Every structure is written in C-alpha cells, then in structure tokens.
Amino acid sequence: MSTHKDFPNLHILDHPLIQHKLSHMRKVSTSTKTFRQLLKEIALLMGYEITRELPVSYEDIETPICAMKAPVIQGRKLAVVPILRAGSGMADGLIELMPSARIGHIGLYRDPETHMPVEYLVKLPEVEGRTFILVDPMLATGNSAVAAIDTLNKYGVADKDIRFMALVAAPEGVKVFQDAHPDVPIYTAGLDEKLNEKAYIVPGLGDAGDRLFGTR
C-alpha cells in the first residue's frame, strides 16, 4: 500500500494481484460475468488491506490441547455500505470476507439539470460504536462520495469512523473528497489521469454500473 504526495489521506493498493485483476477489468473486451467476478475478488483483496488496523478483542477458547485467549474481530461492529448501484458489486467481496458485518445502503441518482447527487434511499444499521466502510467503484467528481458521507454524518456517524473504498479514482474527485472530509481515508486500486468532459474517468473502465449489470 502506498500514499500519494498531493493527497495525504489517499492510499493506493498497489498489490500486484489487485493491479493484475484491475487491468483485466479495464479491458473493453472483458465480459459482464468476468467483470463482476473480478470486482468481487478485488474488493476482497482490498478489504484484507483496509481492515489491517481493526482492533481485536480476546476471547477465551479451548483448543484440543489447552485453554487460551484468542484474538477476534468484532464483526458485528462493522458495516459495509455500498453506494447504489455499482457499490453493491464491491460490497459482495467485503461481505464474503466479513460475513458478520452489517450492511447498509445509500441510493443516489444524478439530477439531470444540476448534475448533483440526489438521495433516494438510506438504510443503515445501528451506528453506535460501529466502523463504516463506504464503497463505490468509481470516485469520479467526488460529489456522490461526499453526499454519502454527509448522509452518514447526518445519521450520527463521525468521519473518524468511516473508510471509503473505490476501485479507481480521479484526481479531481479525490480533491473534492478531501476538501470536504479530510479525515476520511480513501483506499483505491488506481489513481487515474483525469475526468473527461462527461465526467468519466480516463483511462478508467467505462460505466461501472453498466459493466457490472450488463446494462447500457
């Protein structure tokens, strides 16, 4: 995992396995089935990295040999929150890794006039004492991610209890994000070059939702 000189809270997960899978996802020739599978696999590998600092508590257990105090993660104290719809493809990988985690949903659509995100669904678990992993494959303009974190704040989740995970990020989006929520770490597999005039990430991988669900 490496950090970026211009963005102190951006962590790039440059593990070769993650990078290899991401390169396949970027290819225009990759099928929906493979894209979906790879997104899940990458999310799982990213999840392994971003949970490195999770606190553990100690439980009394019996091995076949003796009693011991064994470290365990409080899975029920974690929440995975996909931003719909493409975030759900990443959430699948994290849930496989942390099956006891609670799952929330934040649904946003883009207003055709203002191009700003509009919230249409919020379902969250109890927030008290919980760490929230917010996921969206593409951190493009940063507006959806900021809106989703504003929503979490409104429901009582502090920035210090949030981590944001994106497959690919654009510098423009990272800046918007970090100006709004400097204390929320961003984890991504790739920091790309820029946004184009339609706010797609370049080189990116196209529309993540369409590629994940086979729509257009």
Binding site for 5-phospho-alpha-D-ribose 1-diphosphate: which residues?
85, 110, 136-144, 207
The verdict on 213 binding ligand URA (CB under 6 A) reads no
Q: Name the pairing type of β-strands 138-139 and 186-191.
A: unpaired
Q: How far apart are CA 172 and CA 48, in angstroms?
A: 27
- Dist CA 182 CA 46 (whole Å): 21
Query: Hey, what amino acid is at 145?
Result: A
Given candidates 41, 119, 172, 207, which one binds ligand URA under the rule CB under 6 A? 207
CB of 57 to ligand URA, least distance (A): 38
How many CB atoms lie under 10 A from the CB of residue 1? 13
d(CA 69, CA 144): 43
R_g of the chain computed on alpha carbons: 18
Q: At closest approach, how far in Å is the CB of 127 from ligand URA?
A: 27
Nearer to ligand URA, 31 or 100 (CB): 31
- Does residue number 204 form part of the binding site for ligand URA (CB under 6 A)? yes
How many residues are given for the chain? 216
Q: Going along the chain, which residue ranges are E strands?
A: 2-3, 10-12, 56-62, 67-73, 78-84, 102-103, 105-110, 117-123, 131-135, 138-139, 162-169, 186-191, 194-195, 201-202
Stretch that binds ligand URA, among 42-50, 117-125, 157-165, 200-208 (CB under 6 A): 200-208
Pick the piece of the chain touching ligand URA (CB under 6 A) from 64-72, 103-111, 147-155, 201-209: 201-209
Closest CB to ligand URA among 179 and 193? Answer: 193
Segment contacting ligand URA by CB under 6 A, of 56-64, 124-132, 176-184, 202-210: 202-210
Site string for ligand URA, 98-117 (x = CB under 6 A): --------------------
- Binding positions for ligand URA, 115-144, rule CB under 6 A: 138, 140
Q: Under the rule (CB under 6 A), what is the footprint of ligand URA?
A: 138, 140, 200-201, 204, 207-209
